[in-house]
């Protein structure tokens, strides 16, 4: 079986046996999802890059002790979440996360980053780009814990149980956070429309 067809868990196991190529496949498969999760939580590209490096370094260094007892993505996003929380605590930014005060000053603006769907008509392209920006802006306005839970579901494709395990929260709490997050997003999108 080629590496591209291998499951995440098998790739990790093979990397644990010294196959560098397995890690590269794994990294390419999850690179953007992890980065988006980090960037949309910390709202800072440089911090997201730092965290990204830390997270994947931790994954690589933990390969020797990796046991495929759960989904790899659960483990990966647990590391990502914990590193992000550590960084926020270190920088005394726990409260500022909620406030969403730190704007991304170093990176490009959201509208600039959003790719245009070329198959659409110019007007539709603008509308599509505008809608994407609206959704991403709405996500960034969610409270930190709701945003984190929503992004773990949307980017990490984790279940409620897995989110609860990754964040160290109660199942019902996570369920509640997700419900509030979706309600808030709908409201923000309705307001935007």
| Positions that interact with other proteins (CB under 8 A) | 15-20, 23-24, 27, 31-32, 35-36, 39, 45, 48-49, 52-53, 56-57, 60-61, 63-64, 107, 110, 113-117, 128-129, 131-133, 135-136, 139, 153-155, 182, 185-186
* Residue (60 or 85) nearer to other proteins, CB: 60
Compare residues 76 and 168 and give the one whose CB is closer to other proteins: 76
Min CB(114)–other proteins separation in Å: 5
* Least distance to other proteins, CB of residue 89, Å: 22
**Tokens standing for 171?**
């199942």
* Residues 6 or more apart whose Cβ sits within 8 Å of residue 47: 38, 87
160, 179 contact by CB (below 8 A): no
Quick one: 95 or 157, whose CB is closer to other proteins? 157
CA nearest neighbour of 135 among 99, 86, 188, 65? 188
How many Å from the N-terminal Cα to the C-terminal Cα in the chain? 48
Nearer to other proteins, 32 or 99 (CB): 32
Q: How far apart are CA 51 and CA 133, in angstroms?
A: 24
* Closest to 97 measured CA to CA, from 44, 158, 134: 44
The least CB distance from residue 22 to other proteins, in Å, is 8
Minimum distance of other proteins from residue 36's CB (angstroms): 6
């Amino acid at each position: 079986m080629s590496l591209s067809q291998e499951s995440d868990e098998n790739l990790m196991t093979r990397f644990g046996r010294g196959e560098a190529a397995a890690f590269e496949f794994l990294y390419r498969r999850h690179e953007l999802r992890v980065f988006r999760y980090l960037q949309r939580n910390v709202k800072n590209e440089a911090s997201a890059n730092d965290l990204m490096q830390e997270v994947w370094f931790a994954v690589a260094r933990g390969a020797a002790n990796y046991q495929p007892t759960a989904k790899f993505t659960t483990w990966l996003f647990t590391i990502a979440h914990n590193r992000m929380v550590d960084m926020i605590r270190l920088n005394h930014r726990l409260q500022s996360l909620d406030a969403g005060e730190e704007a991304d000053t170093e990176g490009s603006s959201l509208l600039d980053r959003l790719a245009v769907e070329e198959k659409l008509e110019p007007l539709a392209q603008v509308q599509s780009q505008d809608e994407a920006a609206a959704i991403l802006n709405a996500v960034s306005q969610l409270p930190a814990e709701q945003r984190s839970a929503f992004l773990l579901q949307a980017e990490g494709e984790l279940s409620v149980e897995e989110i609860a395990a990754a964040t160290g929260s109660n199942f019902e709490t996570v369920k509640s956070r997700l419900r509030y997050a979706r309600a808030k997003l709908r409201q923000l999108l309705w307001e935007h429309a």
